[in-house]
Amino acid sequence: MNSRTQQGVVINIHALGAVVRLDDGRLATVPAADLARNRDRYDRALARRKPAEFIVTGDERHPLAMLAPQIHDADLEEQITHYLKMTQEWEKPDAAPAHERHFLRKKRRAALFESRHSPDS
């Protein structure tokens, strides 16, 4: 049984699982166990009608789909963006940004370490 990842849209959620329309037009069944494990993600995918990444197994006529592990989460990305915009106000307008100050401090320490521990000294 070969498996591959494929894009699809959740079109229905029911008592026995869910139905996904794959990007090639086929309908795939989602097992109830995968639906129970990832119920919130399936509900969001159904409400938004946005394509999601699925692991598709089974034959061509009766494919089985399960949500692929997601590294990218749009809601989390939005929260991070909001937080970063909020923290920009904390920066001092007349000073270098904190990440640059941190990098310069580390660069100076590395240069000092190299000068103290170089083989020609």
Asked whether residue 40 carries a pLDDT value surpassing 60, the answer given is yes
* Most confidently modeled range among 28-42, 80-94, 102-116: 28-42
Please indicate, yes or no, whether residues 13 and 55 belong to a single structural domain of this protein.
yes
CB 11 within 8 A of CB 68: no
Please indicate, yes or no, whether residues 61 and 16 belong to a single structural domain of this protein.
yes
Work out whether the CA dihedral 54, 57, 61, 62 comes out positive or negative: negative
**Residues sharing a CB contact under 8 Å with residue 14, sequence separation 6 or more, in sequence order:** none
Indicate the pLDDT class of residue 95, thresholds 50, 70 and 90.
confident
**Spatial separation of the C-alpha atoms in residues 6 and 55, rounded to whole Å:** 6
Indicate the pLDDT class of residue 121, thresholds 50, 70 and 90.
low
First-last CA distance in the chain = 64
Per-residue pLDDT, 43: 94
Is residue 8 packed enough to be buried (19+ CB in 10 Å), middle (13-18) or exposed (0-12)? buried
Residue 78 lies in a domain: yes
Q: State which H helix or E strand residue 30 sits in.
A: strand 27-31
Domain count for the chain: 2
Please indicate, yes or no, whether residues 56 and 19 belong to a single structural domain of this protein.
yes
User: Residue 31 sits in which domain range?
Assistant: 4-67
For the question of whether the overall pTM of this predicted structure is more than 0.75, the answer is no
Please indicate, yes or no, whether residues 45 and 98 belong to a single structural domain of this protein.
no
Please indicate, yes or no, whether residues 62 and 105 belong to a single structural domain of this protein.
no
